[in-house]
Chain A
């Protein structure tokens, strides 16, 4: 397979135009770490963006950073960290889950749009992408959005690009919102709650005025495989329910105490602070208990998004019916489920249960032979599918970009 290592946006245009002319679909990659996600593609050339790796402009006082899509995310994170700033949506690092070498590029972060625990407060990747330059499947460079936070000029194409898995356009440069890091953080730890009680505790916390920025629950069986910051919590025979409060120190301390007292009916809360708290949430963000090199590394992993208050019952039923393990984030609105291997990764069962509560499920980790025969992304009702397809067609009518990644019926 040809790998075309582009040097600039013009190269991208040239490659896409040639691909259109020769009817050869392209797979778009940065570091390639997320190639294991999605339906296996019908592409026979790689468009490699890793050389588009410059930071174009970083303006901490404007709360924005403009970088080329192939910029290594690790470098960009450490750059903004040096100014005490962050991507508030807490992008997930999929490398431990997928067993890939590094965290990837900024383009990959936006294309995948996998937000971490703080999504409940700060929004997702789509809420932080202010502008982009991209090359469409017409082979034309176009601009979307701008470089300021408040902008309603024309359609908000950035929303479509975020989470589109490279199927609409090849982003070459993006402008992202950055936010100040919190001065300090506190995590309340409740022990021994079952999934339903934990869901109730998280619902109470998120319905309180205490500005909770993380609400997760790790049932005891999933906790046994815990690594990193979660492992430090000790006592693996009990489930842990975790609630994060961030802000200036006085505020975080005050709200942690107030929330602990509001949640007293669910048990006494322990408190972890700052570095220990951060380590817990990075472990939750990356779903370390399901790491590729851990005890559950061979199990397929589903990422389920659902109405948060129905998460507890949904996750509990899935774990019970399959013998799998689940971890809850977003107050129950995000369920990670590692299920014992089956030829269909238990897709029929998962989807039936998820549909019943109005959620959707993505098979985020599974071997290629399973992904060939199972819908990785949640099937949508007919009208919505057709509209989504027309939207895709409006960017890439010849289906040149990441052909078939979202829909296995296309990859023929």
Chain B
């Protein structure tokens, strides 16, 4: 393990029994888990290379209980790590040895479906997919669709600002949530937003979304729902060169077309996926694009024609167009199974998540290829090409000494490359512990201090999910100091009127 977590508070660990008793008083029965064996499922999240048993697990089922737990921990100076379904790929829910792991898994109820206002009010433990299923009869769905949507919780989606294949056209979580109930570390319950399009005051919903469990514990979410498009059709287009595929993506966007989804796979990913699901992918191409158009039939048919022409002008070598739902699903099946498919050809893999400007795609691929040679590790590339979000999968074998370190170093180099090309460290998986120490690649100390000051506004003692996102922790008092520069009393020499 190369990531250092905050030192354990021995005094807290020494009081473990009384802490467990206090939590039992708040959440009776099976809601408190403290035996080593029963806590094993909570030791890691989707970033499975990292494991750490928590001090104790608590599973409340009311907002009032969450409030009492946090208030107790706040008063006692005990750290808390919140957890939804535990599908984070960046270690956002990795426990700490001296922290209470607060699981929201019992918040499983959809509280209200309001078709007239086109919103669903739900508890945070409800899965992403369950929301769409609950409103499907009326033709509605919830747009963000992370690949873990069958398992990931909506509370976790808000905490991580999750994306998905369709966020090119329909936005990420932040563009699709209207309000929430959040419990602060002090135990205070705050309602932000609601069924209106905008909140009053500062956009706290916007800052809570994507805050990775560092600002508060979400106990209710209001999401907006959309009517399903009339139809969707997909094209599967092969290219002899990655550059041509990249050009095709740029030309489609340049022509004013925003597809519902636009995904790219490189040769290793195509081969792994085809061997796994037999989607009929061409094996002699260097890059494959899956482009989905959705909307009314007349629109989709016309846009399919336009996209096909653009693809041809970019030198596509193969192009298939779906003529039925089953064919469309078949095109997607390989892409959707890309991660497990790669899992079949390698004992272990690391899934990276940088974003680059679309135009830099060929450059990024070349750099990744060079790094692959340098590190002597294979890589398969899957991209949300439409929005420049890369998911290079680095193949390695954790049983070979040093290989995991090598894979992590390779991954870090890819993310540095994304920043150099004008992009960012993470497009949808979050910083967590995984990219925490790379934050200075993108942000100066001043930038990071400003973000941490905001954390202080919500959690002045730094008890909620410490060790995530920020490489260096500062005390709030220190961050809040205003330096008077030079003690000047007059405004400087600047043109005035």
**Which residues in A have some Cβ–Cβ distance to B below 8 Å?**
2-7, 11, 14-15, 17-22, 45, 48, 59-63, 84, 119-120, 123-124, 126-127, 136-144, 146-160, 162-164, 168, 179-181, 183, 203, 206-211, 247-248, 250-251, 254-255, 258, 305-309, 330, 333-334, 358-360, 377-378, 380-381, 383-385, 387-388, 390-395, 397-398, 406
Contacts and interface: CB of A to CB of B under 8 A. Distances in A.
Contacts of B201: 377-378, 380, 384-385, 388, 406
B357 interface: yes
A153 B195 contact: no
A250 B151 CA distance: 39
Contacts of A5: 494-497
B211 A155 contact: yes
B431 A153 contact: yes
B442 A248 contact: no
28 contacts: A3-B496, A11-B494, A59-B359, A126-B206, A138-B483, A139-B483, A142-B446, A143-B447, A144-B450, A146-B424, A148-B357, A148-B388, A150-B384, A151-B426, A152-B431, A156-B174, A157-B207, A159-B209, A160-B206, A211-B229, A254-B296, A258-B296, A308-B195, A330-B197, A358-B194, A377-B201, A387-B204, A393-B480
A147 B346 CA distance: 34
A49 to B, nearest CB: 12
Contacts, number: 305
Nearest to B301: A250
A396 B356 CA distance: 32
Given A150-B355, A152-B161, A160-B203, 12 more contacts: A61-B254, A183-B256, A203-B116, A207-B227, A251-B296, A333-B196, A380-B200, A388-B201, A390-B457, A394-B457, A394-B480, A395-B453
B230 A251 contact: no
Contact of B167 (A11, A17, A150): A150
A-B pairs with lowest CB-CB distance, top 9: A159-B206, A180-B256, A251-B299, A360-B200, A307-B195, A309-B116, A390-B457, A150-B427, A394-B453
A207 B118 contact: yes
A307 B256 contact: no
B166 interface: no
A394 B299 contact: no
Given A59-B357, A148-B387, A247-B295, A391 B190 contact: no
Contact of A154 (B118, B204, B451, B495): B451
A395 B450 contact: yes
Given A149-B387, A206-B118, A388-B201, A136 B450 contact: yes
Nearest to A250: B298
B303 interface: yes
Interface residues of B, number: 106
Nearest to B421: A148
Given A140-B446, A251-B299, A391 B174 contact: no
Contacts of A137: 482
A392 B202 contact: yes
Interface string B276-297: 0000000000000000000110
Contacts of B359: 59, 61-62
